[in-house]
Structure formats: C-alpha cells, structure tokens
Amino acid sequence: MTNKTTEAEWQAKLSPEQFRILRQKGTEMAGTGEYDGHFEKGVYNCAGCNTPLYKSEHKMMSHCGWPAYFTALPGKINRHVDNSFGMKRIEITCSNCDGHLGHVFEGEGYKNQAGERVNDRHCVNSVSLKFSPEDK
C-alpha cells in the first residue's frame, strides 16, 4: 500500500490502534510498546506498507518510553515541522506510505550503541513498526 491508498482501504488493512497512530497521527502511551526495550538483530519496517525504516544497529536506549533510533535508512523517512501542542517538533513519516511514525528530537546528547554522541533521537511508536529478525 502506498500514499495513493484511500483512508477506507487503510482502515480495512490496519488494526484500530495502527490506524489511529499511522493515519491519524496518534501516539501510543509511553512504556506500552513492544519495541521499546527490544534489541534483537534485524530490521524495523513500516507496519503500514512494510518498507524497511531502521536497522537494529540504529537503535538506542533513551528511557523515553518509546523505541528510539539515532538514524534511519537513507531516504526512508520524511521530516515535517509540527507546531502542535505549543512547541516545535519534527514529525517523521514513512516516505512510501506517509504513515506517522513519531517525532525527531534534535541535539539532546544521547549516545548510540558504540558510545558516540548523536544529534537526533527518533522517538517512534511501536505500533508504527513491524520487526523482521535477521536471518541466522
């Protein structure tokens, strides 16, 4: 499914929670997502269209209540300024289906898995993702 898919088609394909988050720009409750503390090797795909978005090597522990990544696969994420709730944030969406993933927070000083400081923290809803384990 792509960004030409109708909202009715999305509603038929997705669970009510996936539809609320991916299509209506919702947010899952902090600490409830299945991928927050998940660090298995593999790829995190868009739950809407199965486009690969993040590698497990991109994941970091931020203790924010949502899965966090310091970068995405090239060209797979679009960024949009989001001025809702009286603050400037950067919304991130899947570049293929335009599904809402979460937000990027810049300049926080988190470290990646190698202990290096990173500029961005992609704070992503678990519901927006589908994990594909690495072949062993």
Say whether 49 is catalytic.
no
Q: 36 to each of 63, 71, 81, 88, 96, how far by Cα in Å?
A: 8, 16, 24, 24, 24
Find all residues with CB under 8 Å of 14, minimum gap 6, and list them.
22, 23, 47, 48
> Which member of 46, 49, 94, 123 is catalytic?
123
Q: 13 to each of 9, 10, 23, 72, 94, how far by Cα in Å?
A: 6, 5, 12, 25, 17
The pair of three-digit structure tokens given for residue 43, joined into one six-digit string: 């790829």
Distance separating alpha carbons of residues 98 and 77, to the nearest angstrom? 9
The count of other CB atoms within 10 Å of the CB of residue 91 is 17
Which residues form the catalytic set?
A: 123
